[in-house]
Structure 1
Amino acid sequence: MRRQAWIAVGGVVVLALAAGAWVAMKPGSAPGGNAQAAAGKPGAAASAPPLEFRSNEVVQPQRAALPERIAFSGPLVAPNTALLRARTSGTLLALTVAEGDRVRAGQVLGRIDMAELAPRIAERSALLDSARATLAQAERTHASNERLAAQNFISPNALDSSRAQVDTARAALAAAQATLETTRVGQRDASLVAPIAGIVARRHVLPGEKVSAEQQVLTIVDLARLELAASVGTHEVARLQPGMAVRVTVEGLDGALTGQLARIAPAAEAGTRSIGVTVALANADERLRAGQYAIGEVLLPDDRQRLLLPVTAVGSTAGQSHVWVIEGGKLARRAVTLGRRDEAGGRIEVLDGIGADARVLGSRFDNLREGAQALVTGSAPPATASGPAVASAATAASASPLR
C-alpha cells in the first residue's frame, strides 16, 4: 500500500511538470502575464522594440519674430453712391438709361411730363408784363408831380403819395418776376439730370409711371473708390490707427489688394460690443463691385524673438497643453505654456516647458508611452517651426499618427 501511494504521488508530480512545460512553450506567454500585461508594467517599455520616427517627423523649436495679425471681414460698399430723385410730381415720360449703363455728371437721363406748367408760366409772364407797365405809369406820374410841386401847383403830400405808388409798383414787379422764375425752375425740374458720374445700379420706376416729388428714380454708383466696412473687438481696436496698411482679399478675386485704414468708429455698437472700421480701396479699373465679401488683415510687427513650434506638435489633455520629446533615446511628455498663435503660418509660441535644443515630435500620435524607446531614422534635415510636420507612414504601428 505504501508503495502504491508513492507511485500515485510521483504520477501527479510528473503531470504537473508536463503542464508547466506546455504553458511555458505556448506562444505569447510570459512570466507574470501575457504581452499586453507585461507592456503595462514597469520595465515593459524598455523591453519593447524602439519606436522609429523619420527625421521629418521631428522638429526643433526655432526662434523667430511672430507678427500679430488682426483680421476683420465685411462687404465692400461704394461711398460715392447717389440717389436721383424726382424734384416734382408728374408722369415719367422717358428714361434713357438702363441698369449697368455708364453716365456722366450733368447728363439728362429722363423727363417728367410738366404740361400743366405751360399755361401757368404764360399766366405769370402776363402778370409780370402788367406789373412792369404799372411801374412805368407810376414813374411817369411821379415825374409829372415833381415838376408841379416845383411850381407849387400841388402840395408836398400829393408828391409823397405819388412816390409811394412808385415804390408799390416796383415791389409788385419784383414779386411777379420771382413768381415766374419759381415756375420756370419747376419746369427745369422736369428734366432728370445725373448728379455724379458712375454706373446705373438700379432703376426704381419705369416710363409711364406717375412719380411724386422726392421719389427715387435711379441709383448711380461710382466704383472708382470702394470701402470695406467691418468691425473689430474692443480688445483689438487700441492697436489700430488710421493710415495703417491693410491686406485685403476679396471673394472671387485671386491675390490680395492693399488698402488703407481710413476711419475707426468712436463708439462700440450696442449688443455686439464691436467697433466699426473702414478700409479705403482704390478701384480705378473697376475690378471690384459693391457688395462683394472681403477680409482685411492688419499685420502688427513683432520686436522680439519667440520660441516657435508647429501647431501640429502641440496636444492637449484635460485642458493642459503638452508636447512629446525625445530625450536620451526615450519618449517624454512635457507640459508647455503657450503664447501667441499664427493661424496662417501654422505656428505657435512656447513660453515655458521646453528649451530651444529639444527634439519634438512634429505630429500628434496615438499610443505613445512615457519612457518608451525611440530613435530617429533618415538623413533628411529636421523640420523647422515654419510649418507643420508630415507624419510618416513608416512609423511603428504602436505610434500611428492621428489623421
Structure 2
Amino acid sequence: MRKTWVIAGVIGVALAAGSAWWTTQAPARAAAAGKDGGKKSEKAAPPLVFRASEVVRPQHQAMPEEVVFSGALAAPRTALVRAKASGTLLSLTVAEGSRVQAGQALGAIDVSDLNHRLAERHAGVEAAQARVAEAERVHRSNEDLARQQFISPNALESSRAALESARAQLKSTRAQLDTAAVGLREARLLAPIAGIVGKRSVLPGEKVSAEQELLTLVDLRELELAGVVGTHQVSKLQAGQPVTVRIEGVDAPVTGRIDRIAPQAVAGTRGIPIVVLLANPQERYRAGQYASASVTLADPVQRLTVPLSAVSQASGQDYVWTVEKGVLVRRIVITGRRQVAQGRVEVTQGLPADVDVLAARFDNLKEGAAARIAPPSGQPVSAASPLADAQGPSAGADGRPATRAR
C-alpha cells in the first residue's frame, strides 16, 4: 500500500513539472509563431494594381509662356471742369451719369464782377485812344513850329516822346481788355470733351472759387489697364502685342494691345510698369473695374511634361512615382514651366521619357513595393481601394491599403 502511494506521488510531481515548463515556453512559441506567420503574410502580399487611367507616359509638347499682370481699368480721357472765376454757381444742367458733347454748356456762374471789369477796360481803351489823338495833334503842331524855327529841337523831341508814351499806354489798355474778355469767356462752363459726367462736386447756389473742381467728365470709348511685369519678362514684350484681358463681371475675355512700356523699373522693386489699351466703343466696361491681362509667348521647344497631379513635394523636393519592372520607384525630379490651365508641368531632370508615371497622388506608397498596371479592357481593382477578399488588401508603406491622396 505504501509503495502504491509513493509511485503516485512521483507521477504527480513529474506532471506538475511538465506543466510548468510548457507554461513558461508558451510566449516564446507564440512570438515565433507570429514571426513565421508575418513572414508568410509578407511573402503572400499581392502587388498593387493601378488602373490604366491612373498611369501616364511623359509627353513632349510645347509650353507657351504666359506673362500675367493685373490692375484696375482707367479712362485716359478724363477731364476736370474747374471754375475759372469766383462767384455764385447759378445752375448746373447735368447730373452724374449724364452724357455730354464737347462744347456743351454745363451750367453758369455769376460773373457780374467780370462784366464790370470788362466795361472798365473798354473805357480805359477809349481814354487811351483820346490821349494818343491829342499827342499826335501836339506833335504835328510842334513839327510845323520846328520847321519855322519857333521852337527848339528839344521841345520837338519831348512831344515825340509824349506821343510814343500815349501809344504804348493804348497797347497796354487793349491788352487788359483782351485779358478781361478771355476771363469772361473762360468763365462759361463748357464741356471740354465728349463723355459722361462721372462726378459732380458742387450744387447750384454754392459760392465757388477760381480753380475749384466742379465736374468730372469721363470718355469710356478707350480704357487703359496699368500693371507691372518683372524685369526678367519685360524684354519679351513690345508695344503692339495682343493681350487677352479678363474683366471682373464679364464672362468672355476681350482683346487689347500693349500701348507703352516704361523705360525703367519702379524704384525699390524689380517691376516695370506696362499699359494695355482696350477699345470700348460700346462702353460696356467701366473705369475702376478690376481686370487681369495675359500675354502668350510662343514656345519653339518641345518639352518633357507630366500632369501636375503626378508631382508631389517633400522636404522642398519634387518627386513622382513610377512603375518600373514591376515595382514602385520614387524619382526626385526638377520641374520647369507650369501651365495651370492645361494641368501640365515641365520636367527638366530626373525622369526618362519611357516610364509609366502615376498620374494621381496616393498615400501609403512604399518604394520597392510590387506593382502592376491593369489592362485597359479589363475590370481591374483600383489601387485606391482594397483588393478583393480573395487577394487581400494592397499594402502601403506601413501595411495599410494604398489610397488616393485627398
TM-score, normalised to structure 1, is 0.84
Runs of 4 or more, structure 1, over 6 Å off, are none
Q: 1:154 to 1:301 in 2, by over 3 A?
A: same
Q: How far did 1:363 drift?
A: 0.6
Counterpart of 1:351 in structure 2 is 348
C-alpha displacement of 1:307: 0.9
Change (3 A) 1:379 1:164: same
Pairing partner for 2:280 from 283, 303, 318: 283
Q: 1:327-371 CA deviation, whole Å, 9 max, x = no partner?
A: 233322222222222222211111222222211111101122223
- Residue 398 of structure 2 corresponds to none
Partner of 1:388: none
The answer to whether the 8 Å contact 2:384/2:402 transfers is: no
CA-CA distance at 1:109 after TM superposition: 1.2
The question of whether the paired residues in 2 share the 8 Å contact of 1:45 and 1:372 is answered with no
Q: CA offset at residue 137 of structure 1?
A: 2.8
CA distance in 1, matches of 2:215, 2:299: 50
Q: Is the 8 A contact 2:71 2:290 kept in 1?
A: yes
SS at match of 2:260: strand
Q: Does 1:402 align with 2:405?
A: yes
Q: 1:216 aligns with which of 191, 213, 218?
A: 213
Q: Which residue of 1 aligns with 2:54?
A: 57
Matched with 2:224 is 227
CA distance in 2, matches of 1:200, 1:146: 66
- Give TM-score, length-normalised by structure 2: 0.83
Out of 176, 182, 187, the residue aligned to residue 185 of structure 1 is 182
User: Which residue identity lines up with residue 278 of structure 2 in the other structure?
Assistant: L
What pairs up with 1:91-102 in 2 under 5 angstroms? 91-102=88-99
- Residue 3 (structure 2) aligns with: none
CA contact (8 A) 1:55 1:380 kept: no
Q: Quote the Cα distance in structure 1 between the aligned partners of 2:81 and 2:329.
A: 73
For 1:163 and 1:66, the matched residues in 2 are separated by 88
Q: 2:140 aligns with which of 140, 143, 162?
A: 143
Deviation, 1:294, is: 0.9
Question: How do 1:196-215 residues align onto structure 2 when only pairs under 5 Å count?
Answer: 196-215=193-212
| Distance in 2 between residues matched to 1:86 and 1:335, nearest whole Å | 70
Whether the 8 Å contact between 2:89 and 2:203 is mirrored in structure 1 is yes
Equivalent position SS for 1:290: coil
Q: Match of 2:126, SS?
A: helix
Whether the aligned pair in 1 keeps the contact of 2:48 and 2:383 (CA below 8 Å) is no
Q: Distance in 2 between matches of 1:378 and 1:287?
A: 54
Match of 1:116 in 2: 113
Q: What's the secondary structure of 1:336's corresponding residue?
A: strand
Confirm or deny: 8 A CA contact 1:45 1:371 kept in the other structure. no
Per-residue deviation at 1:310? 0.5
Percent identity, please. Answer: 52
Which of 293, 297, 302 is equivalent to 1:296? 293
Residue 309 of structure 1: CA displacement? 0.4
Q: Which digits, 9 at most, give the CA deviation of each residue in 1:157-199, with x for residues without a partner?
A: 4443333333222222222222222222222222112222211
Does the alignment pair 1:337 with 2:340? no
Alignment-derived partner of residue 363 in structure 2:
366
Q: Secondary structure at the match of 1:166?
A: helix
> Partner of 2:81 in structure 1?
84
Distance 1:131 1:321 in 2: 92
For structure 2, which runs of at least 5 residues remain unmatched after alignment?
Answer: 1-5, 388-392, 394-400
Shift of residue 292, structure 1, vs aligned partner: 0.9
SS in 2 for 1:187: helix
RMSD (CA atoms):
3.2
Amino acid of the structure 2 residue aligned with 1:285: Q
Compared CA separation, residues 304 and 8, structure 1 to 2 (3 A): farther
SS in 1 for 2:404: coil
The Cα offsets for residues 196-239 of structure 1, whole Å up to 9 and x where unpaired, read as 22111111111111111111111111112111111123333343
Counterpart Cα distance in 2 of 1:85 and 1:9: 121
The count of aligned residue pairs is: 382
Query: Which string of whole-angstrom CA distances, capped at 9 and with x for unpartnered residues, describes residues 54-76 of structure 1?
Result: 22111111110111222111111
Separation of aligned partners in 2, 1:337 and 1:2? 84
Q: Which residue of 2 aligns with 1:384?
A: none
